[in-house]
A and B are shown apart, each in its own frame.
Chain A
């Protein structure tokens, strides 16, 4: 077996070589660069002071370190140590350190469960049974042709860039599992094809958290939440805005009755 090349004058030359060597791997290339140098530059640019208050907003100062952390280009401990060395207080550092701990937690569970992360860890708490969920992703979701500006944009961003803001991941996953009633495994496989940080543990167990097979209740959202954290980026131009045709319109109670008619509503509660 011959070895693969390492001498590329430009990124374009590398991409052309990859297209030739791996013809079955298709699609666009991400603007996000791989490598330790890119990882260290990204680390140097993080903004711990504003991270905690803004991380749920799409224009918040999130770190975008996940592709590097997933592949061990940067260790979790390096990010924690970076914060400690700069003497950030626990109050400032805590929101970011907590997110690092989520990844460590998923990895610990992966170590224990192995390929069991592909199985429902617990029953769905949605009032639906596993067989009520479709096995495959409906084509209009990867085709970005659902007609919902937000969802179609999320789908394109995933496939074009290999990166999604965490809140967008939650919205898109909730849409797939709860609005379209598709098994979380189908969505998880789709994400793993595309996410640069696609890691079976963080990915699958987060999908299970949304689905409620690894949490006390399903994660779902409404239009108010999406509009607020996206600053109405999609609602503004969406033909469904302000109309009953927006599937996300309504209070959490109204949506719970619509999405989970057989569930115990008291147990579902509401999530922000």
Chain B
């Protein structure tokens, strides 16, 4: 019986994303976020593009309220833990907080192109690039 499930979201649609790569045998799920699709008036071509990405991933495809569906999927699989890949989206972070009320949540980082250090000047890209260009390419 698996104890973990993988949650794949819209910033991590690669079969090699950190969550799927680290937990290759865990059941994985995608949830179409009905509220987001409505609020952003997402057009058909965007849904088709994402759906085509999903068809190359080992995920069960669901829709509805994201947190409710992930909880239900975890329960069906007898899992106590959700593993996913990090995202800066505040909506994603809110879902993680809600999930953490009833499940263990592990968020795996995406490898950084540019390591962000404390105090890094982010006011303008030009200043960021001055730091980044020294470390970004070998």
A139 contacts partner chain B, Cβ-Cβ < 8 Å: no
Contact A34 B11, beta carbon cutoff 8 Å? no
Q: Which residues from chain B contact A104 at a C-beta distance below 8 Å?
A: 112-114, 132
**Number of A-B residue pairs having CB atoms within 8 Å of each other in the complex:** 181
Report Cα–Cα, A90/B12, bound state, in Å.
Answer: 28
Minimum CB–CB distance for A103 against chain B, Å? 8
Chain B: residues with Cβ within 8 Å of the partner, total of: 55
| Tally of A interface residues using CB under 8 Å | 71
Asked if A33 is at the interface (CB within 8 A of a chain B CB), the reply is yes
B88 touches A73 (CB 8 A): no
CB distance from B17 to the nearest CB of A (A): 6
Kindly report which residue of chain A lies nearest to residue B29, judged by CB atoms.
Answer: A3
Q: Could you tell me which residues of chain A, from 1 to 55, have a CB within 8 Å of some CB in chain B?
A: 1, 3-6, 8, 11, 14-15, 18-19, 21-22, 24-30, 32-39
Shortest Cβ gap from A158 to chain B (Å): 10
- Identify the B interface with A (CB < 8 A): 10-15, 17, 32, 37-38, 40-56, 60-64, 69, 72, 85, 88-90, 93, 110-114, 116, 122, 124-125, 128-129, 132-133, 136-138
Instruction: Please give me the residue from chain A that is nearest to B38 by CB atom.
Output: A24
User: Which residue of A1, A15, A33 is within 8 Å of B62 (Cβ)?
Assistant: A1
When the two chains form their complex, are residues A74 and B51 in contact, meaning their CB atoms are under 8 A apart?
A: no
